[in-house]
Every structure is written in C-alpha cells, then in structure tokens.
Amino acid sequence: MDRLTFRKASEQDLDTVIRMLADDVLGQQRERYETPLPDCYREAFQAIHTDPNNELVVACVRGEVVGVIQLTFTPYLTYQGGWRATIEGVRTSSTTRGQGIGTKLIEWGIQRAKDRGCHLVQLTTDKKREDALRFYEQLGFTASHEGMKLKL
C-alpha cells in the first residue's frame, strides 16, 4: 500500500466521509447519503470543526480519502482531573478494507490522545458489529464497562 497520511477533514471531504459512514448495514439505517447532502451534515461538520476538543481526521492515500476517525477530548474530575479521548465514526473505504487502514487510524488516534495528554482512550461499537469488536480487542481495547444509551 502507498503511504498513508492523516489530515484534518475539510468540508470538501464531507461527501466522501458520509458515503463511508453509510456504507454498511447499520450505517444504511441511520445515515442519509444523498446528493446534495442534507444540511444537517454540514451543520454538524461546522460544530466539530470549530470545537477545539473535537477533531475529524481523514486518512489519505495519494490524496484520496480512504478513512475517517473522529476524536473528542473531554476533561473529567475523575482521575484527578484527567482528560479522555473518545473515538467515534471510524470507517474505511469499502475499496480499501483489509489493507490495515483501520488499524493505522486507531493507532493514529491513540497517539493523538497521548499527544493531548489523555490518560484514557475509549470507544463504543454496536454489539452487532462482531468483527469490529474483535478488531478493537486485537488492538488492546477491553470491554471493561457496560455501555448504555437512551435514544432521544
């Protein structure tokens, strides 16, 4: 594989990012990949882009976006006022899956969390994503907590 590079996502990347988010069974149920994209995606991008504790980063090969990761940095009173990084929305292009890009995205995210002084990196994945669960475990993540959600 050619050299993988990482950069902050731009609004011009949004179409590709949303296409990747919608390109699986669960994503098809919750995303709206349409042309033009619904305004809600641009509004969310602007909120992420202007928040110093959020980073939307794309992985590129020869300038082509092939992966995405979102990092959110949160201060906590626990762990003596420690910071945590939350990894969300990790996807790779369907044409490049199985080439190690997902691993490189997570490794990059972990290093970025260290660079920001975080003591912990956390993520969630849908229990239906058995391959993703195995993938994250292979990278050293443990299912140490039971996560819960309430849809509003």
- The secondary structure of 35-86 as a DSSP string is SSPPHHHHHHHHHHHH-TTEEEEEEEETTEEEEEEEEEEEE-SHHHH-EEEE
In which band, very low, low, confident or very high, does the pLDDT at 136 lie, cut at 50, 70 and 90? very high
Q: Class assignment of domain 4-138?
A: alpha beta
* pLDDT value of position 98: 86
Q: What is the pLDDT of residues 57-81, one digit of tens each?
A: 999 999 999 999 999 999 999 999 9
pTM above 0.85, yes or no: yes
Angle, CA of 63, 47 and 53, to the nearest 5°: 80
pLDDT above 90: residue 41: yes
> In the chain, where are the structural domains located?
4-138
* pLDDT value of position 1: 58
* pLDDT value of position 94: 86
* pLDDT value of position 68: 97
